[in-house]
Each structure stands twice: as structure tokens, then as C-alpha cells.
Structure 1
């Protein structure tokens, strides 16, 4: 039976690189943001590739859930990359009980800076950090799991350690193939890859961590302040690096 793993992240994290990492395992297939079409249909949010996404993906929440829980999978593991803001407040999360889960977080200032650079503006709803914290509570309650949390900066500082710890927390074997992958696009990439995935398509592994030097305007700082408590709630739960690397 396939073990299905849901990774819950906000945008402008290392979520696509993480998907590459899992896809490079010989025993794992990946699914890229399966609720994107549903989210756009419901919100009409003006995202890049809007029409292409609606044409490519099902916008029926129940059909997507069935695919994620019962869909055919020929590998031992299935890795599902989810964006937290795609999960609207009133959706039924009962289906999450059958999956294993992990949460991927990132410093809000870095997220806001990156999102603004890509989209020209950024709101608290755009980056999904508030929703991420709420989903953690809801999914924990539904599943009864002790769900691991990882921070993208920790992954970049020591990917082997963090990935091995995540695998241990999920009770699956670590595969060193997760540390590197070939350049280029993948058939599994969502149609939105043409807008968002330029950097990851050039990558062959996780980029080295570089301390960011950010200058945010007042509107951006207000967004950071609004979401910071929710990030900190999850940050306290994160898998930590050995003391010498923090």
C-alpha cells in the first residue's frame, strides 16, 4: 500500500526544491499543488497562468481529495506538495486522516520580500502563514499525529540532517538521492512552472544558505507583523539543527 505524505507550505519557500528532492527517490512519485485550480475557481485571484491552471486541473474539491487518497500510485511513497492558502477556511479536512504530514515554514520577512518581488504586492492571505498555523492544529487534531515541522533555512544549512530527521519522524527510510537531482523541468510540474520554476529548473540541489539583507517598506512590515505570531508558533515546534549549526 502506498504511503502518502502531505507537505504543507506557503508560497516563496523552498517547496518546489523539496518536491524535487522527494521525486528524486526511486520509490516516490510527487503531486504538485493539486488544489490550485480549486482555489482559483473559488477566489478568482488573478494569478499568473490563471486560465491554463483552470484548464489543466480539476476545480472540484471532492474529486481532488479522491485523487489524493485513492488515486493510482505505482510507487511505495507519494509526496504531495500543498500550498496552505489553497485550503479555504470552510473545507472538509477529514481526508487528511489517512496521510502522513509535514509542515515547511520560512521566516515571514523573507517570504514577504520574495513574494513582493514576484507579484508586485503581498497580503497576509497571499502567503498562507496564518492558515498554515491553523491547519497544523486542525490536522493534528484529526490525525492524532505528532507532525514534524521544518524551517527552510535549516534545510539549506544542512539538508542531509533535516531530511534524515524528517524521514525518521515519518517512519520511512532516508534516501541520499534526496540531496541532489538533475537540472530541468519535470512532467510532474504544474502548468504554472513557466512563471514560478525558473530557478529550480536550473538547480541540482538545495542552494547554500545565505543570510538575507532585506529592506522592507511599511506595508510589507505590517504584513510581517500580522503573521509573525503564527510563524513563531510553528517555529517553536521545528526540528532543530545541532547546536553548532544554529
Structure 2
């Protein structure tokens, strides 16, 4: 089985990738389209030149690999995708061969975290509009809503929510998903030194999140723009 996990940035996505990698039966791929996205858009991201130089930047080739064989002789292939990377001109047919899952997080938490790593985020940067678009496309293909899970619920009760996620995917749950060794991983993207500091210090999911962060006025306006997209997908999320 190939699992395409669609997330915005700063969304527990790396921790969830580590969780699936820890199963032992699952190959993982960290943000397959990142280099292709940067090359196609010319957008300035931290470590952008290194990302393009060190990864496949032809979106057609990336898509073919996403829908191809499962690496390493594993039975599962977990693809950690950023919704912002799936620009309209990139091929999406590979998604039909995957079990598509949508990982959501309240935009206030996303914006607060993202702004610490890259100042002045816009609505396009944080992926909520793109996530809703991809959700609608998959729902149209399948004739039903795809799986949605909220990162807040995972942190609140990792065992319960990962069990439910595995049921939704039709795969067995294993407690190995609850922990991983600290430090960088061989499957991390080359951008890990800039973005993955906190998750590299972790050995499992952090505890439950507190109240929503207070944000400056400009960032609060961005949250308000993103909130309707989050709330629409939240209505389909696996119940906590």
C-alpha cells in the first residue's frame, strides 16, 4: 500500500513520518516534490539551492516514483507530501494509486510555528487552500471523503488516534509507532537542519497542546483567512 499524507508545513508531519518509519514494514519519502516545486516557482526558501541540487526536480519523474514500486522490499510506502508543493501544473494521477490522508492543524498553531522559521508567511505558504483543493479532488475521484486526522488529536492521545488511523487505512497498529530514536534520520530531506530541530530532539509525540497562541495583528488576519479551510476539513476528521 502507498500512503500519501497531505499536510501543510509545521503540522506534526515529520513526527508522523517518523512514526510510520518506526513500524519496520514501511518505507518513507520526505517531501518528494520539494525540489520540483522550488525549481518550477523560483520561490526563495531556506537551503533552496541545496534542495534543488540534491533531489529530483522533474515533477513527472517524481510522480512516477510515487506511483511505482514500494522501495526496500517493504509492504507500505509512506509519502510525506506538502500541499503547497502540488502546484497545478504538476501531474496528480499518481494520487489515484495511493491512499490519500489529510493531516490538519489549527492555523493559529501553524502560523505561530512557521513564522519562527520563515518570516512573513502568506496564505499560499501555509497550504490550507491547497489542502482543501486536493481534498475535494480526491473526494471527487473516490465518491467519498478521504481520511482526515487532526494533529491536535494525535498529540492529545497518540495511541488512540494512531490506532484509529491504522483502522481507517486497513493496516495493523503497532506500538512501535509511538517512539523513535532521537537525532537526524537517514531518510530526512536535506532541509532537515533548518526545519527539524525540535523533532530531532524528540523520541515520540509531544504532549497535549495548550491554548491557541496569541498572535500579532498581521498574523491573526492570516489565521482568519485560513480558518474556514481548516474548519471544513475538520468536519471530516477521525473523531477523537
Coarse TM-score class (shorter-chain normalised): over 0.9
- Mapped contact 1:96–1:143 kept (Cα < 8 A): no
Distance (Å, rounded) in 2 between the aligned partners of 1:127 and 1:12? 9
Alignment of 1:157-172 (within 5 A): 157-172=156-171
1:231 aligns with 2:237: no
- Mapped contact 2:35–2:51 kept (Cα < 8 A): yes
| TM-score, reference length from structure 2 | 0.96
- Mapped contact 1:115–1:121 kept (Cα < 8 A): no
| TM-score, reference length from structure 1 | 0.94
Q: In structure 1, what is the equivalent of residue 201 of structure 2? A: 202
Which secondary structure state, in structure 1, belongs to the residue aligned with residue 121 of structure 2?
A: coil
- Mapped contact 1:156–1:207 kept (Cα < 8 A): yes
Q: In structure 2, what is the equivalent of residue 45 of structure 1? A: 43
1:185 aligns with 2:184: yes
Which secondary structure state, in structure 2, belongs to the residue aligned with residue 163 of structure 1?
A: helix
Question: Kindly tell me: are residues 111 and 20 of structure 1, through their superposed partners in 2, closer, same or farther at Cα, counting changes over 3 Å?
Answer: same
Distance (Å, rounded) in 2 between the aligned partners of 1:159 and 1:215? 26
Question: Kindly tell me: are residues 235 and 213 of structure 1, through their superposed partners in 2, closer, same or farther at Cα, counting changes over 3 Å?
Answer: closer
Alignment of 1:12-51 (within 5 A): 12-51=10-49
Q: In structure 1, what is the equivalent of residue 219 of structure 2? A: 220
Cα deviation, 1:162-194, whole Å, max 9, x if unaligned, reads: 111111111111111001111111110000001
What displacement does 1:139 show? 1.7
Unaligned stretches of 5+ residues in structure 2 = none
Distance (Å, rounded) in 1 between the aligned partners of 2:7 and 2:227? 15
Distance (Å, rounded) in 1 between the aligned partners of 2:45 and 2:69? 27
Which secondary structure state, in structure 1, belongs to the residue aligned with residue 236 of structure 2?
A: coil
Which secondary structure state, in structure 2, belongs to the residue aligned with residue 237 of structure 1?
A: coil
Report which stretch shifted further, 210-219 or 171-180. 210-219
Question: Kindly tell me: are residues 39 and 64 of structure 1, through their superposed partners in 2, closer, same or farther at Cα, counting changes over 3 Å?
Answer: same
What displacement does 1:71 show? 4.0
Distance (Å, rounded) in 1 between the aligned partners of 2:107 and 2:26? 30
Cα deviation, 1:29-70, whole Å, max 9, x if unaligned, reads: 100000000110111111111111001111111100111111
What displacement does 1:92 show? 2.8
When the two structures are aligned, how many residues end up with a matched partner? 239
- Mapped contact 2:27–2:70 kept (Cα < 8 A): no
What displacement does 1:208 show? 0.2
